[in-house]
């Protein structure tokens, strides 16, 4: 499919995009960037349309050293890397569907809104196994909500029953690997905001379960809960990969290496916790020590859940129009 046909298809999909904006005569804008020469992009830009009145003018701010000349974006040998900003997006109304297609075949797609008016563009790791492993490792370690869920599972399962702990972590791994693969191949597509809110809710649940010893489902079969929420966490991992794009011809390899990096980070977290508990002679696993940690974890997750739920029900903020 030619770049112009692809951009036209995106434009049509954007105009048909369902939601609040369409109901009020608002149509999203479309930005298409196609790299047809190294560091040089063809630009197709359509601003959002408000059929009920005048629409705000939006300024595109490209990362340095990129310069826009009519319908050409010249970025030089460094390529298109850095923050792409959309200034002037109306709070709670305007959105811009963005499509970036690189010469190596990577394609990045994102819906930019006033709540998140910036898009981070990064150079792809290519076919370097080490780079993809490092990316997965950095994502799990830097993803506080994913780390919090693993910590919550450890509080529920404990570190003494090696079999239960292994089964629980394995179930979580299998589940998020499955949905990650489905999402990056566009077999399964869900909106990011509800996914992020559900991830926060999963942390609230395991933190709550860690405060007691009653024989609930989470206590009796923690691997089932880990698997169920692991499916959602995999969609969260896919959101991170969407910023990079998978190299064509090496989708399976890059996905495998990214997953390996995630698992290495996950095992490192589990290893640190097990070591700390062992040094404390098991005191940290007893209820008097466990409950304050669980409440702290649950309080943080509850804040995430509130924040992410408000982003869904009131994207313009509580005082927005």
The answer to the question of residue 319 being in a domain is no
Contact 154, 176 (CB under 8 A): no
Structure tokens at 152: 């919550």
Does residue 112 sit in the same domain as residue 134? no
Does residue 221 sit in the same domain as residue 305? yes
Q: Is the dihedral of CA 171, 172, 175, 178 positive or negative?
A: negative
Q: What is the pLDDT of residues 241-295, one digit of tens each?
A: 766 767 777 778 888 898 899 889 888 988 888 888 777 655 556 667 788 889 9
Q: What is the pLDDT of residues 207-236, one digit of tens each?
A: 999 988 888 998 899 999 999 999 999 988
Q: What is the pLDDT of residues 71-116, one digit of tens each?
A: 999 998 888 888 899 988 776 557 888 888 888 777 787 788 877 7
| Res 20 pLDDT > 60 | no
Q: Which of 121, 144, 159 is the last residue of a domain?
A: 121
Q: What is the pLDDT of residues 169-178, one digit of tens each?
A: 999 999 999 9
Does residue 162 sit in the same domain as residue 116? no
Does residue 36 sit in the same domain as residue 98? yes
N-to-C CA span, the chain: 40
148: containing domain: 129-313
Contact 320, 246 (CB under 8 A): no
Structure tokens at 263: 């698992």
Structure tokens at 286: 């007893």
- Give the pTM: 0.68
C-alpha distances (whole Å) from 70 to each of 89, 119, 273 are 21, 21, 56
The answer to the question of residue 286 being in a domain is yes
Instruction: Specify which residues 31 forms β-bridges with.
Output: 45, 98
Position 16 confidence tier, pLDDT thresholds 50, 70, 90: very low
Does residue 234 sit in the same domain as residue 306? yes
Look at strands 29-37 and 40-46 and give their pairing. Answer: antiparallel
- The whole-number pLDDT of residue 21 equals 43
Does residue 116 sit in the same domain as residue 227? no
Structural Rg of the chain based on CA atoms: 22
Q: Which of 121, 153, 175 is the last residue of a domain?
A: 121
What distance in Å separates the CA atoms of residue 123 and residue 213, rounded to the nearest whole number? 48
The answer to the question of residue 320 being in a domain is no
Does residue 299 sit in the same domain as residue 194? yes
Does residue 166 sit in the same domain as residue 291? yes
Count up the domains in the chain and report the number: 2
Does residue 213 sit in the same domain as residue 89? no
Structure tokens at 149: 């869920």
| Res 117 pLDDT > 80 | yes
- The whole-number pLDDT of residue 9 equals 45
Looking at residues 304-316, what average pLDDT do you find? 81
What distance in Å separates the CA atoms of residue 112 and residue 119, rounded to the nearest whole number? 7
């Amino acid at each position: 499919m030619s770049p112009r046909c692809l951009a036209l298809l995106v434009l049509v999909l954007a105009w048909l995009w369902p939601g609040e904006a369409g109901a009020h005569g608002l149509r999203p804008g479309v930005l298409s960037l196609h790299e047809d020469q190294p560091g040089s992009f063809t630009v197709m830009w359509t601003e959002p349309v408000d059929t009920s009145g005048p629409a705000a003018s939006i300024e595109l701010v490209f990362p340095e050293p990129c310069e826009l000349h009519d319908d050409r974006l010249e970025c030089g040998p460094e390529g298109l890397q850095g923050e792409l900003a959309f200034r002037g997006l109306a709070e709670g109304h305007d959105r811009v569907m963005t499509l970036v297609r690189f010469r190596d075949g990577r394609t990045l797609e994102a819906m930019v809104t006033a709540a998140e008016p910036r898009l981070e563009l990064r150079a792809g790791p290519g076919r370097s196994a080490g780079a993809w492993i490092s990316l997965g490792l950095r994502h799990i370690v830097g993803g506080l909500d994913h780390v919090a869920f693993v910590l919550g599972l450890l509080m529920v399962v404990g570190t003494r029953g090696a079999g239960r702990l292994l089964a629980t972590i394995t179930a979580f791994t299998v589940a998020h690997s499955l949905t990650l693969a489905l999402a990056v191949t566009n077999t399964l597509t869900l909106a990011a905001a509800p996914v992020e809110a559900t991830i926060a809710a999963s942390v609230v649940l395991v933190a709550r379960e860690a405060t007691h010893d009653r024989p609930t489902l989470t206590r009796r079969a923690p691997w089932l809960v880990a698997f169920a929420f692991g499916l959602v966490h995999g969609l969260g991992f896919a959101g991170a990969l969407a910023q990079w794009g998978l190299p064509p011809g090496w989708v399976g390899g890059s996905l495998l290496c990214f997953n390996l990096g995630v698992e290495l980070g996950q095992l490192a977290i589990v290893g640190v916790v097990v070591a700390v508990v062992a040094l404390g002679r098991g005191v940290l696993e007893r209820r008097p020590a466990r409950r304050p940690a669980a409440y702290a974890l649950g309080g943080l997750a509850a804040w995430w859940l509130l924040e992410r739920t408000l982003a869904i029900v009131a994207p313009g903020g509580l005082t927005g129009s």
